[in-house]
Structure 1
Amino acid sequence: MKRTLAYTTAILLGLGTAPVWAGPDDNSLAWASDSMPSSIDFYTHTIREGIVLGHHIWDTLIYRNNETNQIEPHLAESFEWIDDTTLEFKLRQGVKFHDGSDFTADDVVGTVEFVTTNTTVQPIFFLESAEKIDDYTVRLKTKGVFPAVLEYLANVVPIYPSDYYAEVGPDGMSRQPIGTGPYRVTEIVPGERVSMEAFGDYFGGVKGKPSIEKLEFRRIAEFNTQAIELMTGNLDWIWRVPPDAVQQFEGQSQLKVESGDTLRVGFIGLDAAGRTGDTPLKKLEVRRAINHAINRDGIREAMIGPGSQTIDTACAPPQFGCSAEGMTTYEYDPAKAKEMLAEAGYPDGFSIDFFGYRDRPVVEAIIGDLAAVGITANLTMLQASAIAQARNEGRTPIWFQAWGSSSILDVSAGPGYWYDGSAVDYARDAEVTALLEEGNTTIDPEARKAAYSKALVRISDQALQVPIFTYALNYVYNSALNFTPVPDETPRFFEASWNE
């Protein structure tokens, strides 16, 4: 990769002319990433690119202000707790959807009714119901006590136009999205790009009114292609730039290189429960051996770079309830891994299907480490939506997973998602699930932390996954762009602008 990008850079510099940047000239911004959900209906996926699009197309009742780091009213004017399980929202008046219709309490009730009565990929497990008090007052009822509900409402419950969604459903919303957000979708080419324009009637709220007139998202799978498009002016912004490629952009006056930490973690999922059959992964000794086989520090340093950290626990360090205290530490020790495999009955190793969907260099490094201890991992790389389906259907014995917790600063969105007994749970450990549920539903913060800590210790002791690293993101973008990275891995282009 490094040689290819360096060669590309040399060619571009050798042309002797600067790229023509369309963005500043026509107040547009083109950005790219390597994944795109098959459906951009927010509730049908957990793909980061789709989440980013969702923040630009739709709005939530409350939203996090990046300047204050506080959750503030957004579609709502105010909110208050009526009791331990009931929130009342006073809604903004005069807010318009992209089709010109008015936003009212009916849309909140309709959205909540849909996501609480239908199975959604983006699970809204914490809400029970919504009640309309009047046209601009609504009450939300949680499923029991759930202290983290404000985090979730601010991130994963965008409000849809209820009549439209009832008519067209998720497929129609994906083909022709309608929201109240700062940008209106003008064109979608499935699997390739999404074009948007600033919504002239946008109310502003916490997000503010956008400065950039047009946005275009493009799915470009290969990083080298992204780099060429950026350096020739066909793109204005890219991210997930490999550490060894960053230096190729530095020193170019038309580009700015910036790094930022994130909530995203990378881990290896293991089928401890035997959902894919009677595989070696059902044996604790094998799972522990795999933990010892992976050179986590080496992979992190080579593939992710500065700003990331190696982790021993199944959560993102900034999340409420995440603790490394008491975790089992699995040092990189291939010789020990081989011994443990032999003791488990696999002196010659074994062969197993391995699934991935992004970060192929990381996946290949993991497979190399497994091969070194005798485990042959047969790689299948899928698109994000395809691996999610395969995983939910119980067809992924071992896989690499990047997880951003939907930008939620709470353990309930990390291990609380992966070990809840649902289709994504490959441990089916009743003790872990019960402890996480206790943490999710306990009001006292210290008691919550204690329950989460016990769950995390058991996940580690039973080697239910291989936690590897936190992600740090490298961004490269047009130096004329005013852009600020945020830790929740959701670039807010509605806050960006071009230098005049």
Structure 2
Amino acid sequence: MADQLHLRRRALFALPTAALLAGTSQAARAQAPSQNLTLAVAAPPTSLDPHYHTLSPNNAVAAHFFDKLVDRDAAAKLQPGLAESWKLVDDTTWEFKLRKGVKFSNGQDFTAEDVVFTLKRVPNVVNSPGSFSMYSRAVVTTEIVDPHTIRMKTAEIYPLLPYDMNNIFIICKSVGDNVATGDFNNGKAMIGTGPFRLQSYSPDDRIVMTRNDSYWGDKPDWAQVTYRFITSNGVRVAALLSGDVQMIDVVPPSDTPRLRTTQGISFSEIPSLRCIYLKLDVEHEVSPYIFDNDGKPMTKNPLRDLRVRRALSMGINRAGIVERVMQGVGTPAGQMMPPGALGYNPNIPVQALDVDGAKKLLAEAGYPNGFKISLLGPNNRYVNDAQIIQAIGQMWQRIGVTTTVDAVPFSVLAQRQAKNDMSAMLIGWATSGEPSTALKGVLTTRIPEKGFGTTNFNGFSDARVDELTMEGLRTADDTKRDQLFQEAMKIAMQELGLVPLHMQKNIWALRGPMTYEARADELTLAMSVKKAG
């Protein structure tokens, strides 16, 4: 109060000066929105290291500071990135022509040596919970033709190398051979060619970044961006409504009707390439979170029986989840690819709810009275993820499987997944617009030296899926390759290497005169937020 009285007295005796200062302050406030952007996303990254974890939040953050040889537009189509062009020189040699005049944020020129350095590092990141090696393993040797031309040799015909190069961020060789993940998190190694520079990083809170005015591409509209992590749906929406942030992702379905009628709020939306699914533990002989009806550990893992996996899938009402839990923001799924995408197999049905059929299969498998299971899932990663596992738990109760729901932060879930510390788990996978990444990442046998099964921690393995996937990867004919991948997906779904639930829809909400180009890959990119007009 004393401060307010003091300010009032100053205003009485110095009105012209006060008016001038007020005008300056108002001008500054009016200018701030045109220079600074604050947005909020639902899921924080697990690291700033662009090669640490194949996770969409990590990739979204990395895209602000680093570039890839091959980029991807909002519809997931490949575009030139740090490579202006690429071509097959012979059946096993790809040549990439690199951009000239590109500089890293430390002023060093970008050259082919940085690409070689990056490819060597990717498979050697320590303690990676989801390795990017699936995208680098096809390259057996590299040849630097000149500073801006690099050739990558594969062991056999491999037509998908440009897609793989769309997933690897290029780092500067000056960070050193033994650069640790921690050096990215503390900012020391955050040297990239991207549109922004790192100013500060507060894990699980925010990243502050400033525009890289020497960026080779289109400059962002924003001089400074505060990229906040707000996992709570209610808090994230409240921040948008109050003006604390100007954009949010993962708009909660329950808040969508209200936001659509709020003046000044606009939406940007697109069908997603992300499939939400369940992993079922088929690796352990005795699964850690399955018990008999007396609460005693079972002597064998019932999930290894295909009939049990089918029963659990049949016990899920996918249409009900999409309609009631997701409030229509999604599409029931029977496979990893959405309709219309490469690799989508129209002959794979979406499993319908069949309670009686599920009970019959459980009885045939020797579990007429069911068993007890814990269903693990995140509570801060996907749209209504905690509610989804709650709903599935109730559905499984109806087929005789007593279910305990374990909803945890995604950072905890990621570590448990890497150790296969689960019996059943909800997770998601966003494809890159074609099916090989889903097949290689989660449905092929885990063979790290081949880059296969890099996130297949539940132990699923089928030789036919492996063989068809490998054959597809070395098939140059696009139509034949697509058929091979479709067949591999069909077998994997018949064997329930995972249990698909639904495809998400990506929705962003904006406050004020701005636009955002909705992305099928769900990445929230500050450089894609544009001032209206």
Q: TM-score, normalised by structure 1?
A: 0.88
**Within 2, Cα distance between the matches of 1:72 and 1:259?**
21
**Within 2, Cα distance between the matches of 1:76 and 1:474?**
31
2:434 equivalent to 1:413: no
Q: Are the counterparts in 1 of residues 144 and 150 from structure 2 also a CA contact under 8 Å?
A: yes
CA RMSD of aligned residues (A): 2.4
Task: Identify the residue that residue 478 of structure 1 maps to in structure 2.
Answer: 511
Equivalent residue letter for 1:396:
M
CA displacement at 1:167 relative to structure 2: 5.0
Choose which of 304, 315, 337 in structure 1 pairs with 2:358: 337
**Within 1, Cα distance between the matches of 2:172 and 2:473?**
30
Q: Are the counterparts in 1 of residues 370 and 401 from structure 2 also a CA contact under 8 Å?
A: yes
What SS class does the counterpart of residue 56 from structure 1 fall into?
A: coil
Choose which of 86, 89, 99 in structure 1 pairs with 2:96: 89
Task: Identify the residue that residue 368 of structure 1 maps to in structure 2.
Answer: 394
Equivalent residue letter for 2:460:
A
Within a 5 Å distance, the mapping from 1:192-203 to structure 2 comes to: 192-203=205-216
Q: Are the counterparts in 1 of residues 506 and 520 from structure 2 also a CA contact under 8 Å?
A: no
Give 1 or 2 for the bigger CA radius of gyration.
2
Q: Are the counterparts in 2 of residues 276 and 394 from structure 1 also a CA contact under 8 Å?
A: no
CA 1:318 to 1:396, structure 2 compared with 1: closer, same or farther past 3 Å? farther
CA displacement at 1:52 relative to structure 2: 0.9
CA displacement at 1:143 relative to structure 2: 4.3
Choose which of 472, 488, 494 in structure 2 pairs with 1:439: 472
Equivalent residue letter for 2:98:
L
CA displacement at 1:141 relative to structure 2: 2.3
**Which segment drifts farther, 257-266 or 287-296?**
257-266
What SS class does the counterpart of residue 245 from structure 1 fall into?
A: helix
What is the CA deviation profile of residues 187-225 of structure 1, one whole-angstrom value per residue up to 9, with x for unaligned ones? 001122111111011010xxx221112112211121001
**Within 2, Cα distance between the matches of 1:290 and 1:388?**
23
Equivalent residue letter for 1:294:
I
**Within 1, Cα distance between the matches of 2:340 and 2:198?**
33
CA displacement at 1:70 relative to structure 2: 5.0
Equivalent residue letter for 2:391:
A
Q: Are the counterparts in 1 of residues 333 and 350 from structure 2 also a CA contact under 8 Å?
A: no
CA displacement at 1:148 relative to structure 2: 1.8
Which consecutive aligned stretches of 4+ in structure 1 deviate over 4 angstroms post-superposition?
21-24, 116-120
Task: Identify the residue that residue 267 of structure 1 maps to in structure 2.
Answer: 277
Choose which of 260, 265, 269 in structure 2 pairs with 1:250: 260
Equivalent residue letter for 1:91:
L
CA 1:457 to 1:226, structure 2 compared with 1: closer, same or farther past 3 Å? same
2:509 equivalent to 1:498: no
Task: Identify the residue that residue 32 of structure 1 maps to in structure 2.
Answer: 40
What SS class does the counterpart of residue 63 from structure 2 fall into?
A: helix
Task: Identify the residue that residue 212 of structure 1 maps to in structure 2.
Answer: 222
What SS class does the counterpart of residue 389 from structure 1 fall into?
A: helix
What SS class does the counterpart of residue 413 from structure 1 fall into?
A: helix
CA 1:355 to 1:283, structure 2 compared with 1: closer, same or farther past 3 Å? same
CA 1:126 to 1:409, structure 2 compared with 1: closer, same or farther past 3 Å? farther
Task: Identify the residue that residue 106 of structure 1 maps to in structure 2.
Answer: 113
What SS class does the counterpart of residue 44 from structure 1 fall into?
A: coil
Within a 5 Å distance, the mapping from 1:358-397 to structure 2 comes to: 358=381, 359-397=385-423
CA 1:146 to 1:396, structure 2 compared with 1: closer, same or farther past 3 Å? farther
Equivalent residue letter for 1:253:
Q
**Within 1, Cα distance between the matches of 2:148 and 2:342?**
33
Choose which of 302, 315, 322 in structure 1 pairs with 2:344: 322
CA 1:133 to 1:385, structure 2 compared with 1: closer, same or farther past 3 Å? farther
Unaligned 5+ residue runs, structure 2?
1-28, 288-299, 447-453
Task: Identify the residue that residue 236 of structure 1 maps to in structure 2.
Answer: 246
Q: Are the counterparts in 2 of residues 306 and 472 from structure 1 also a CA contact under 8 Å?
A: no
2:162 equivalent to 1:141: no
**Within 1, Cα distance between the matches of 2:455 and 2:483?**
24
2:195 equivalent to 1:188: no
Q: Are the counterparts in 1 of residues 332 and 350 from structure 2 also a CA contact under 8 Å?
A: no
CA 1:291 to 1:246, structure 2 compared with 1: closer, same or farther past 3 Å? same
2:445 equivalent to 1:424: no
**Within 2, Cα distance between the matches of 1:22 and 1:141?**
54
What SS class does the counterpart of residue 331 from structure 2 fall into?
A: coil
CA 1:384 to 1:23, structure 2 compared with 1: closer, same or farther past 3 Å? farther
Unaligned 5+ residue runs, structure 1?
1-20
2:55 equivalent to 1:55: no
What is the CA deviation profile of residues 38-65 of structure 1, one whole-angstrom value per residue up to 9, with x for unaligned ones? 2121211122221111111111122234
Equivalences, count: 473
CA displacement at 1:90 relative to structure 2: 2.5
Task: Identify the residue that residue 164 of structure 1 maps to in structure 2.
Answer: 175
Q: Are the counterparts in 2 of residues 76 and 90 from structure 1 also a CA contact under 8 Å?
A: yes
Task: Identify the residue that residue 15 of structure 1 maps to in structure 2.
Answer: none
Q: Are the counterparts in 1 of residues 36 and 223 from structure 2 also a CA contact under 8 Å?
A: yes
**Within 1, Cα distance between the matches of 2:363 and 2:30?**
60
CA 1:434 to 1:380, structure 2 compared with 1: closer, same or farther past 3 Å? same
Task: Identify the residue that residue 290 of structure 1 maps to in structure 2.
Answer: 312
**Within 2, Cα distance between the matches of 1:379 and 1:249?**
31
**Within 2, Cα distance between the matches of 1:122 and 1:368?**
36
What SS class does the counterpart of residue 180 from structure 2 fall into?
A: helix
Task: Identify the residue that residue 178 of structure 1 maps to in structure 2.
Answer: 191
**Within 2, Cα distance between the matches of 1:308 and 1:410?**
20
CA displacement at 1:26 relative to structure 2: 5.0
CA 1:454 to 1:233, structure 2 compared with 1: closer, same or farther past 3 Å? same
2:496 equivalent to 1:463: yes
**Within 2, Cα distance between the matches of 1:372 and 1:165?**
57
